[in-house]
C-alpha cells in the first residue's frame, strides 16, 4: 500500500469517527459519545471537560484529560494536571483534613519535574508532610474559582501539542452520516426495519474492529439494537456482576416477563457465589458458577424481549469504512473543489426510499458518462390515462398563475392572476390517501375569520409575475408588487417586504440557514436573511429576469435559470458563481438553434441531478457541474 493511500485511508477513518460522534450526539447516546471521544482521541470536548470542573468532579476531569495526554507528555500537560491536583487538594483539605494531604502527595509524585518548566519552584514551596491551607481558602467562592480555572485550562489546552487540532469539531450538516449511507445503501425493510438501526449495526461492527470496547458495549446498551451474549458471559466469568446486571437492565427489567425475572435471579445467585469464593478463597463452587452462567445464556435465547437482538448480521469486513470511502471517492470528482473536507460532504434531504437507478450507476460506473440522446419514456396521449381530481369552487374565468401541493402533501394552494389565493384540504385520513383507487375529496378551506389571502397587484399588470413559497405554516407570495407574508392557519397578512416598483420578484425559494433567495426581473438574485431582515448577498449573473431557482442540500448550491437562456450555479458557502451555461438545448445537442426560455428547474429527491424544462425540450444535468446526462424533444400534438 502506498503512503498516499495510507494517508487517505487514515483520513477516511478519522472523518468516519467524526461522523459517528455527530450521529451519537443527535441520537442522544451521550455516554457512548464521550467514551468514543476518549477511545479514539480525535476530539477533546472542552465544554464537557469544563462541566466536570465547575461541578467539582475532579476525578472525572482527570480521567477525561488522561485519555488524550499524560503529565509527562509536555509542559502544558504537566501544568494542566498540576492545576487539577492543586484545586482538588485545596477543596478537599478544607473539608477532609489529613487524607487530602495523602491524596495530593500521591498525585504530585506522578508529575515529572524539570528545571526548565518552572515546576521546581512548586515542589520546593510545598512540604507534603507539613502543608498549611491558607485561612482564606474557606471563604473563596468555589464557583468563581472553578470558572477561573476553566479559563486558564482552556488557554493551556489551546497551546498544548497533545490537543492540537482536537478542540474544534468539524462543521457538519445535520444527519451527515445517515445521509452519506443513504446515498448508496437502499433503505429497505431490514431486519430492524429502519435505516438508523441498520446504521447502528454498521457502527457496532466498526467499533468492534477498531477495538473500542468501552464505546462498543456502551452503545449496545444505549441503542438496544444488539444484545451481546458473549460480552455478558465474559463479565460473568470475570465476576463483574455489577456490569452484568447493568448490561441486562439496559434491555429489559425483571418485571418484563418470566424469563427476564429468572435471568436477574440467576445473576443474583451468581453474585452470591462469587462473594462466597472471595470470602473463603475456595474454588469448590466453580461448577455452580458455570451452571448459572449457562442458565443465563439459555434464558436469554428464550426471552421474547431479547430474541430479535441476539444475532448480529453477517457483513464483509470494515463495511462502514468501505461505504464511506466509496461515497467520498464518488463525491470528490463531483465536488466543485475536489475536497476531502467533511464540511462539504453531500447531504440527502429525503432519507426514505431507494436511490434512483441513475445514482446507483454513478457509483458503479467505470466508463464514460451517459450519452446524450432521446429518452424512451411512456407518453400519455389521452386524458383517460390520468386520474382527475376536481377542486371545488375553482376559478372559471381567471387564469391560475401558480399551483402547488404543500411540502407534506396535505393541501393544495393556488394563486390566480387577480392576486387571490385559495387553499384546498382533504376530508379523508392520510392512510386512505395512499390506498389504491381511493381518491381524496378536496374541500375549499376558509377560516372562521373570513379572511382572504390577497396580494398587492403590480401597477403594470402586463409586466408582473406571480410566485409564492411555503415555509412551515407561513406563505410568502407576490403578484408583482411587495412580497406578502400570510399565516396559513388564519389567512391573516402578518408582514410585507420588498419594493412595489422595479425591480420586482419573479421567483423565490427558501434555503438552509434561514435564508430566502429572491430572483428579480432585472436578472439579479437577492439573498435575504429572515432573522436579521437584511440582504446578505446580491448575485449578478443573468441579463434578463430570473425564471426559476432550485437548491441542492447535497451540494450546497443554488441554481438559477433566466429568460436569457442561462443556467448559473452558486455556492451557498461563499456565494460565488461556480459555473454557468448559456443555452441548455444547444449545450446538450451541440446544435446552433436559438435558445428557448427555461420555464422550470428542479432537483431529484436525492438532489444530485437537475431536471430542466424548456419550451419543447427536457434535459437532465449532473450537479454541480451541469454536465448534460440526457435530453429529448417533446413532440406536442395539436388537439
21 or 501, higher pLDDT: 21
pLDDT at position 133 over 50: no
pLDDT value of position 117: 47
pLDDT at position 38 over 90: yes
Q: Mean pLDDT across the stretch 91-108?
A: 59
Least confident span in 57-66, 116-125, 487-496, 613-622: 116-125
Per the listing, cell 438559477 goes with 560
What the block records as the C-alpha cell of 113 is: 519535574
* Among 58-72, 85-99, 382-396, the range of highest mean pLDDT: 58-72
**What gap in Å lies between CA 324 and CA 331, rounded to an integer?**
10
Percent of the chain at pLDDT above 90?
Answer: 37
Per the listing, cell 435575504 goes with 528
Q: Burial letters for 116-146: b for 16+ Cβ neighbours within 10 Å, e otherwise? A: eeebeebeeeeeeeeeeeeeeeeeeeeeeeb
Q: Mean pLDDT across the stretch 579-593?
A: 62
pLDDT at position 195 over 60: yes
Least confident span in 259-263, 402-406, 595-599: 595-599
Helices 229-237 + 286-302 axis angle, to 10: 160
Q: Mean pLDDT across the stretch 257-261?
A: 93
pLDDT at position 472 over 60: yes
How far is Cα of residue 90 from the mean position of the Cα atoms in its chain?
43
Yes or no: say if 603 and 623 are a contact pair by the CB < 8 Å rule.
yes
pLDDT at position 107 over 80: no
51 or 436, higher pLDDT: 51
pLDDT at position 584 over 70: no
* Phi (first) and psi of residue 470, to 5 degrees: -110, 135
Yes or no: say if 3 and 182 are a contact pair by the CB < 8 Å rule.
no
**What gap in Å lies between CA 617 and CA 631, rounded to an integer?**
7
What the block records as the C-alpha cell of 200 is: 447502528
Cα angle vertex 580, ends 578, 585, to 5°? 150
Least confident span in 182-196, 218-232, 289-303: 182-196
pLDDT value of position 301: 92
280 or 409, higher pLDDT: 409
**What gap in Å lies between CA 46 and CA 58, rounded to an integer?**
14
pLDDT value of position 596: 63
Mean pLDDT over each residue of the chain, to the nearest integer: 78
Q: Mean pLDDT across the stretch 365-380?
A: 47
Q: Mean pLDDT across the stretch 83-102?
A: 69
Q: Mean pLDDT across the stretch 37-64?
A: 93
**What gap in Å lies between CA 218 and CA 514, rounded to an integer?**
37
What the block records as the C-alpha cell of 520 is: 428579480
3-state secondary structure of 455: coil
531 or 376, higher pLDDT: 531
Alpha helices in 309-408 (DSSP H): 319-334, 357-364
- What Cα–Cα distance (Å) separates residue 19 from each residue in 16, 174, 516? 5, 10, 29
Yes or no: say if 525 and 536 are a contact pair by the CB < 8 Å rule.
no
Res. 98 pLDDT band, cuts 50 70 90: low
Q: Mean pLDDT across the stretch 406-421?
A: 86
3-state secondary structure of 404: strand
Least confident span in 167-171, 211-215, 368-372, 467-471: 368-372
* Phi (first) and psi of residue 251, to 5 degrees: -110, -25
pLDDT value of position 315: 84
Yes or no: say if 456 and 481 are a contact pair by the CB < 8 Å rule.
yes
* Phi (first) and psi of residue 524, to 5 degrees: -90, 165
pLDDT value of position 368: 34
pLDDT at position 610 over 60: yes
pLDDT at position 391 over 90: no
- What Cα–Cα distance (Å) separates residue 406 from each residue in 389, 478, 553, 613? 16, 17, 19, 22
**pLDDT 10s digits, 284-341:** 567 888 888 899 999 999 999 998 899 998 888 888 888 777 776 666 555 544 455 5
Interacting residues of 123 by C-beta distance below 8 A, sequence separation 6+: 108, 113
3-state secondary structure of 475: strand
Q: Which of 621, 619, 505, 606 is nearest to 180 (CA)?
A: 606
**pLDDT 10s digits, 135-153:** 444 455 788 888 889 989 9
Yes or no: say if 455 and 484 are a contact pair by the CB < 8 Å rule.
yes
Least confident span in 55-64, 234-243, 298-307, 397-406: 397-406
Least confident span in 131-145, 151-165, 385-399: 131-145
Least confident span in 152-156, 158-162, 289-293, 340-344: 340-344
pLDDT value of position 550: 95
* Among 431-435, 595-599, 624-628, the range of highest mean pLDDT: 624-628
pLDDT value of position 3: 44
pLDDT value of position 343: 54
* Among 34-48, 302-316, 527-541, the range of highest mean pLDDT: 34-48
- What Cα–Cα distance (Å) separates residue 346 from each residue in 172, 336, 360, 511? 10, 12, 15, 15
pLDDT at position 40 over 70: yes
What the block records as the C-alpha cell of 96 is: 477532609
Res. 625 pLDDT band, cuts 50 70 90: confident
**pLDDT 10s digits, 492-505:** 999 988 877 778 89
Amino acid at each position: 500500500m502506498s503512503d498516499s493511500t495510507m494517508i487517505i485511508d487514515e483520513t477516511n477513518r478519522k472523518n468516519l469517527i467524526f461522523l459517528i460522534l455527530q450521529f451519537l450526539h443527535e441520537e442522544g447516546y451521550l455516554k457512548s459519545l464521550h467514551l468514543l471521544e476518549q477511545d479514539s482521541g480525535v476530539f477533546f470536548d472542552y465544554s464537557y471537560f469544563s462541566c466536570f470542573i465547575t461541578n467539582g468532579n475532579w476525578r472525572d476531569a482527570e480521567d477525561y484529560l488522561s485519555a488524550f495526554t499524560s503529565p509527562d507528555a509536555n509542559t502544558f500537560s504537566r501544568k494542566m494536571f498540576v492545576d487539577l491536583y492543586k484545586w482538588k487538594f485545596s477543596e478537599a483539605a478544607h473539608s477532609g483534613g489529613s487524607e487530602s494531604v495523602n491524596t495530593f502527595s500521591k498525585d504530585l509524585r506522578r508529575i515529572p519535574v524539570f528545571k526548565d518548566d518552572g515546576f521546581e519552584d512548586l515542589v520546593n514551596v510545598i512540604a507534603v508532610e507539613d502543608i498549611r491551607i491558607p485561612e482564606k481558602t474557606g471563604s473563596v467562592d468555589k464557583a468563581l474559582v472553578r470558572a477561573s480555572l476553566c479559563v486558564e485550562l482552556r488557554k493551556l489546552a489551546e497551546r498544548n501539542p497533545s490537543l492540537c487540532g482536537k478542540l474544534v469539531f468539524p462543521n457538519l450538516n445535520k444527519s451527515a452520516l445517515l445521509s452519506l449511507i443513504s446515498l448508496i445503501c437502499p433503505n429497505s425493510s431490514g431486519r430492524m426495519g429502519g435505516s438508523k438501526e441498520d446504521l447502528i449495526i454498521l457502527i457496532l461492527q466498526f467499533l468492534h474492529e477498531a477495538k473500542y470496547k468501552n464505546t462498543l458495549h456502551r452503545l449496545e446498551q444505549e441503542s438496544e439494537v444488539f444484545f451481546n451474549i458473549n460480552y455478558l458471559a465474559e463479565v460473568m466469568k470475570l465476576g463483574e456482576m455489577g456490569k452484568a446486571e447493568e448490561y441486562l437492565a439496559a434491555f429489559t427489567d425483571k418485571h418484563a416477563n418470566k424469563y427476564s425475572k429468572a435471568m436477574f435471579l440467576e445473576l443474583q445467585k451468581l453474585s452470591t457465589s462469587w462473594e462466597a469464593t472471595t470470602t473463603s478463597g475456595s474454588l469448590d463452587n466453580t461448577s455452580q458458577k458455570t451452571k448459572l452462567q449457562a442458565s443465563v445464556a439459555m434464558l436469554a435465547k428464550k426471552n421474547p424481549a431479547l430474541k430479535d437482538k441476539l444475532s448480529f448480521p453477517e457483513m464483509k469486513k470494515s463495511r462502514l469504512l468501505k461505504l464511506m470511502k466509496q461515497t467520498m471517492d464518488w463525491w470528490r470528482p463531483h465536488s466543485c473543489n475536489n475536497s476531502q473536507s467533511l464540511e462539504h460532504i453531500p447531504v440527502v434531504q429525503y432519507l426514505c426510499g431507494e436511490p434512483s437507478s441513475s445514482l446507483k450507476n454513478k457509483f458503479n460506473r467505470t466508463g464514460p458518462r451517459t450519452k446524450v440522446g432521446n429518452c424512451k419514456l411512456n407518453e400519455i396521449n389521452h386524458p383517460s390515462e390520468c386520474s382527475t381530481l376536481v377542486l371545488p369552487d375553482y376559478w372559471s374565468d381567471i387564469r391560475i398563475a401558480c399551483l402547488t401541493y404543500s411540502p407534506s402533501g396535505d393541501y393544495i394552494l393556488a394563486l390566480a392572476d387577480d392576486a387571490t389565493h385559495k387553499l384546498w384540504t382533504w376530508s379523508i385520513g392520510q392512510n386512505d390517501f395512499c390506498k389504491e383507487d381511493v381518491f381524496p375529496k378536496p374541500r375549499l378551506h376558509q377560516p372562521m375569520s373570513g379572511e382572504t389571502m390577497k396580494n398587492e397587484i403590480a401597477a403594470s399588470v402586463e409586466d408582473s409575475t406571480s410566485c409564492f413559497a411555503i415555509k412551515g405554516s407561513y406563505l410568502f407570495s407576490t403578484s408583482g408588487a411587495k412580497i406578502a407574508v400570510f399565516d396559513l392557519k388564519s389567512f391573516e397578512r402578518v408582514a410585507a417586504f420588498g419594493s412595489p416598483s422595479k425591480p420586482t420578484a419573479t421567483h423565490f425559494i427558501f434555503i438552509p440557514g434561514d435564508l430566502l433567495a429572491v430572483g428579480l426581473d432585472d436578472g439579479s438574485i437577492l439573498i435575504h436573511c429572515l432573522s436579521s431582515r437584511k440582504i446578505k448577498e446580491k448575485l449578478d449573473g443573468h441579463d434578463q429576469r430570473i425564471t426559476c431557482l432550485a437548491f441542492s442540500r447535497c451540494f450546497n448550491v443554488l441554481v438559477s435559470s433566466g429568460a436569457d437562456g442561462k443556467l448559473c450555479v452558486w455556492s451557498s458557502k461563499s456565494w460565488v458563481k461556480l459555473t454557468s451555461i448559456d443555452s441548455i438545448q444547444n449545450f446538450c445537442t451541440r446544435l446552433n438553434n436559438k435558445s428557448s426560455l427555461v420555464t422550470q428547474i428542479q432537483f431529484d429527491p436525492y438532489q444530485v441531478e437537475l431536471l430542466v424544462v424548456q419550451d419543447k425540450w427536457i434535459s437532465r444535468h449532473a450537479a454541480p457541474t451541469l454536465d448534460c446526462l440526457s435530453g429529448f424533444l417533446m413532440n406536442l400534438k395539436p388537439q
